[in-house]
Amino acid sequence: MPNSPISQMLEAWEKHLVEHHPQVSYEIDVCRDDVFKLEALAELYGLPLEDIIANLISSSLKEVEQKMPYKKGSRVIRIEEGDPVYEDVGQTPRYLEIKRRLEQQSQKLAG
C-alpha cells in the first residue's frame, strides 16, 4: 500500500525527516531480535534510535486505526447520496470512544 502511514514514514526517513510530536516517556521491554532491527534502521537512516521507535509506534497506530474493520449493523445512521449508511458495530466505535475519553482525562489533568 503506497500511501500507508508506514510507507509515508519510510519515505520521510529517506529524506532524513522525522515527525516530532509532544512525547511522553514510556518504558517497554522489546524482543531481542527487534532490538537488532531497530538499531539497524537507526544506522541505515542515520536517525536517533528514539526517533525510529517513536515514529514506528506512531505510524503503526495510524495504520491500525485505518485498517480496523467496519462491521455493518442493522441501524441506518444517515443517508448519503440516497444510500443508507449503517452503524458500525465492530471495535472501531468503542476504540474511538475510549481514545476520546483518555484524551479528555489527559487534558483535565494538564489544565
Residue 47: pLDDT above 80? yes
Domain region containing 22: 5-67
Can you tell me whether residue 38 is helix, strand or coil? helix
Note the pLDDT tens digit of each residue in 61-111: 999 999 999 999 999 999 999 999 999 999 999 999 999 999 999 999 887
25, 55: one domain: yes
Query: 86 in helix, strand or coil?
Result: strand
Q: Tell me, what amino acid is at 31? A: C
93 and 63 housed in the same domain: no
Band of residue 2 on the pLDDT scale cut at 50, 70, 90? low
Q: Is residue 19 located within the same domain as residue 57? A: yes
Please say whether the dihedral angle defined by the alpha carbons of residues 59, 2, 70 and 83, taken in this order, is positive or negative. Answer: positive
pTM: 0.79
Whether residue 21 is predicted with pLDDT greater than 60 in this model: the reply is yes
| Same domain as 79, residue 50 | no
| Alpha-carbon gap, residue 103 to 111, rounded angstroms | 12
Do residues 37 and 85 both lie within one domain? no
Same domain, 63 and 20: yes
Q: Fill in the amino acid letter for 64.
A: V
Same domain for 41 and 92? no
3-state secondary structure of 87: strand
Q: Are 45 and 14 in contact (CB under 8 A)?
A: yes
Same domain for 19 and 40?
yes
Asked if residue 19 has pLDDT above 80, the reply is no
Number of domains in the chain: 2
